Structure 1
Amino acid sequence: MQIDKPHKRPKGESIVPMINVVFLLLIFFLMTSRLVEPAPFKVTPPTAASEKKPEAEPVIFLDKDGTLSFEGAEAEAAIANVKAISGTSAVIRLRADQRVPSSLAAKVLSDLAVAGLSNVELIVVPQ
């Protein structure tokens, strides 16, 4: 008499393909993401009807209280750092809070012009 061998239970689904997909997605997002330096303070840019987007670097931040910042430096040191890094002919981007009084923004633009940085673009949000 011949006795049949007991049937082995089938193993569950392998999770190796799912792990492979997760790692591929992780690599994809790491390769396509862009690391951006965080802003030194929260700034809400004003809106504009124009759709032209500035493409230049560096970016100077101006908060609602009139604090000027660039790469950790504030006030006159920020302007000096921008001038040292980009020179006087580069386009400078100014990211100002929408609550900044126009007189204060004009003063900052004047200070930048006195320092030789007269090519300044204001970053705005399209309407």
Structure 2
Amino acid sequence: MDLTDPPRRARGESIVPMINVVFLLLIFFLMTSRLAQPDPFEVTPPDAGLEGEAKSDDVLYIDATGRLHFDGSEGRAALSRLASAPGKTVQLRADARLQATDLARILRQLAEAGLTHAELVVRPQ
């Protein structure tokens, strides 16, 4: 009768440190990333030869028919919501097919709402 202890198996490498590193990387990327809302409708900006950085985080979307969208509101509600926004500068993401007369009308409405500066978002050529 053999009463000796059976030989012990070698312990495998623990993967817990690797899992910790993966979760730390995930937390790092979640903390440093900036999530953006999807566009409310398809807008193709016009082309332009000049480039510049946008200075405002408020974005007013305008489609080819002149429909307005800002922060979940459309039409007149979008204008009133935009007027109550803290900044007085707004980015205009207007469709390239939008008529200039419609854009001029919208700019007048923005001025009446109290906005002092509008930036038109364009695609570089």
TM range (shorter): 0.7 to 0.9
Give 5+ residue unaligned stretches, structure 1.
none
The count of corresponding residues between Structure 1 and Structure 2 is 123
Name the CA distance, whole Å, in 2 between partners of 1:65 and 1:9.
74
> 1:62·1:96 contact (CA, 8 Å) conserved in 2?
yes
1:124 is aligned to: 122
> Counterpart of 1:100?
98
Distance (Å, rounded) in 2 between the aligned partners of 1:117 and 1:107: 14
Could you tell me which of 96, 113, 116 is aligned with 1:115? 113
Q: How high is the sequence identity, in percent, across the aligned residues?
A: 50
CA–CA separation in structure 1 for the residues paired with 2:11 and 2:89: 64
Q: Offset of 1:23 from its aligned partner? A: 0.5
In the alignment, is the contact (CA less than 8 A) between 1:44 and 1:97 conserved in 2? yes
Judging changes above 3 Å, is the alpha-carbon distance between structure 1 residues 113 and 17 closer, same or farther for their aligned structure 2 residues? same
Q: Tell me if structure 2 keeps the 8 A contact 1:58–1:86.
A: no
TM-score (norm 1): 0.80
User: 1:52: Cα distance to partner?
Assistant: 0.9
In structure 2, give the amino acid aligned to 1:110: R
Q: Which runs of 4+ in 1 moved over 3 A?
A: 3-7
Alignment RMSD: 2.2
Normalization by structure 2: what TM-score?
Answer: 0.81
The CA distance in 2 between the partners of 1:75 and 1:118, in whole Å, is 20
Query: Could you say which residue in structure 2 is the equivalent of 1:58?
Result: 58
CA drift of 1:31 comes to 0.7
